[in-house]
């Protein structure tokens, strides 16, 4: 019951936080002078294209860009009526992309799901690699195994993602016949999901997952190793071994469980870090994620497209934080949900 109440209160807090974050995102995007249509209007007037000027002026009114900034935000959010009534995020309308001349929902439609899929596969890769190598490095501390895993970790942290993408782009295809470019074969784009399309997506996920997840796995492995080494030096470990508990069982039941706290807490920051870290990788490998669209939107001041993508990333951050908080409460009996400190 306490867990359900906690999840409910955290959900309300998450929605309020998302509201504040969306307002800040909209404000920051509009801090540079002008917008997409203002820049276009200046260019059209300079070249004397009156027909284009009339169309741009019509679009400014159509999407309420001629309104004060606070009202633009409320209309985009769907909390205030615009030229077409209440027609914003709350009503499922994400706005219009001026750069691509299409609704934002069409631009990011399939890209959102592919982004989520890529990041979920990356998170699984990060946690499996970090947990395995971190535990081995801590148990075999100051041995050749520890030094080898440390070298792998430092190599992962030091190698830029885009450089690693280029290396695997060439050698992965040459020696392992791995598909390169995109997250599916070209013939499956804009096609409904099928077994062959799913298989193509999974094959194309191998290189991006490894590239995006390498740095995160290396950093988490080092944190887990340090945390587990600290737990293994505590007196209760020697007591458990002295009482005859098998080392493997003792490791899993006590030190590893206690050392997992920061490991689990990283879920909240891992999701947005994966998305931001995959932008250049997506451009290099031609991935159909929201990364290239975000980069284009920010460069061209396509405010509705950029704002939606950034709000989506903020939403993933809050979801990850909620998941990590709940898992921590279930993992560590020292954390009491809903209990006030006396």
Percent of the chain at pLDDT above 90?
A: 6
Which range has the worst mean pLDDT, 132-136, 137-141, 159-163? 159-163
Read off the pLDDT of each residue in 226-240 and give the average, rounded to a whole number.
Answer: 84
Residue 188: DSSP 8-state = G
Q: What are the residue boundaries of the structural domains of the chain, listed by start?
A: 30-103, 106-331
Cα separations in angstroms, 212 against 180, 218, 247, 309: 15, 11, 35, 19
CA–CA distance, 11 with 335 (Å, rounded to integer):
19
With 0-12 / 13-18 / 19 or more C-beta atoms within 10 angstroms meaning exposed / middle / buried, residue 32 is exposed
**pLDDT, tens only, 115-124:** 888 888 888 8
Read off the pLDDT of each residue in 54-65 and give the average, rounded to a whole number.
Answer: 81
How would you classify residue 332: left for phi > 0, otherwise alpha for psi between -120 and 50, otherwise beta? beta
Give the pLDDT of residue 21: 93
Give the pLDDT of residue 25: 92
**pLDDT, tens only, 273-303:** 676 667 777 777 777 788 888 888 888 888 8
Read off the pLDDT of each residue in 7-33 and give the average, rounded to a whole number.
Answer: 88
DSSP 89-154: GGGT---EETTTTEEHHHHHHHHHHHHHHHHHHHHHHHHHHHHHHHHHHHHTTTSHHHHHHHHHHH
Read off the pLDDT of each residue in 2-17 and give the average, rounded to a whole number.
Answer: 82
CA–CA distance, 65 with 51 (Å, rounded to integer):
19
pLDDT at 74 over 60: yes
In this prediction, residue 112 has a pLDDT band, given cuts at 50, 70 and 90, of confident
pLDDT at 268 over 80: no
Which range has the worst mean pLDDT, 2-6, 68-72, 141-145, 272-276? 272-276
CA–CA distance, 290 with 283 (Å, rounded to integer):
10
pLDDT at 1 over 70: no
Give the pLDDT of residue 73: 92
Provide the β-strand partners of residue 97. Answer: 102
pLDDT at 342 over 60: no
In this prediction, residue 58 has a pLDDT band, given cuts at 50, 70 and 90, of confident
Which residue would you say has higher pLDDT here, 131 or 339? 131
Most confident of 16-30, 55-69, 92-106, 175-189: 16-30
Which residue would you say has higher pLDDT here, 114 or 75? 75
Helix axes 255-265, 104-139, angle to 10 degrees: 150
CATH for 106-331, among 1.10.357.140, 1.10.3720.10, 3.40.50.620, 3.50.30.30? 1.10.3720.10
3-state secondary structure of 82: strand
Compute the Cα dihedral for 217, 220, 226, 230 and give only its sign.
negative
Q: Which residue has the tokens 């009114």?
A: 61
* pTM, rounded to two decimals: 0.80
In total, the chain counts a number of residues equal to 342
């Amino acid at each position: 019951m306490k867990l359900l109440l906690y999840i409910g209160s955290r959900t309300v807090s998450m929605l309020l936080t998302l509201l504040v974050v969306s307002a800040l995102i909209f404000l920051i995007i509009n801090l540079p002078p002008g917008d997409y249509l203002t820049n276009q209007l200046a260019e059209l007037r300079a070249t004397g294209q009156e027909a284009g000027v009339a169309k741009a002026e019509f679009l400014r009114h159509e999407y309420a860009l001629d309104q004060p900034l606070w009202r633009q935000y409320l209309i985009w959010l769907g909390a205030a009526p615009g030229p077409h009534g209440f027609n914003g995020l709350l009503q499922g309308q994400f706005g219009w992309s001026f750069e691509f001349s299409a609704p934002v929902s069409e631009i990011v439609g399939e890209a959102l799901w592919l982004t989520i899929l890529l990041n979920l596969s990356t998170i699984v890769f990060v946690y499996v690699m970090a947990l395995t190598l971190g535990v081995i490095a801590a148990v075999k501390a100051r041995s050749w195994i520890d030094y080898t895993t440390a070298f792998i970790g430092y190599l992962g942290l030091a190698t830029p993602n885009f450089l690693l993408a280029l290396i695997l782009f060439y050698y992965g295809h040459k020696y392992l016949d791995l598909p390169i470019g995109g997250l599916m074969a070209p013939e499956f784009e804009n096609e409904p999901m099928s077994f062959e399309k799913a298989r193509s997506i999974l094959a194309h996920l191998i290189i991006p997952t490894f590239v995006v997840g390498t740095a995160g796995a290396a950093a988490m492995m080092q944190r887990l190793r340090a945390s587990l080494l600290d737990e293994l030096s505590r007196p209760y470990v020697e007591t458990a071994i002295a009482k005859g508990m098998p080392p493997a069982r003792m490791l899993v039941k006590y030190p590893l469980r206690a050392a997992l706290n920061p490991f689990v807490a990283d879920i909240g920051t891992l999701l947005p870090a994966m998305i931001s870290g995959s932008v250049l990788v997506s451009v290099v490998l031609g991935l159909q994620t929201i990364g290239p669209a975000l980069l284009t939107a920010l460069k061209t001041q396509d405010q509705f497209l950029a704002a939606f993508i950034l709000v989506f990333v903020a939403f993933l951050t809050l979801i990850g934080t909620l998941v990590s908080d709940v898992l921590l409460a279930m993992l560590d009996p020292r954390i009491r949900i809903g209990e006030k400190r006396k």
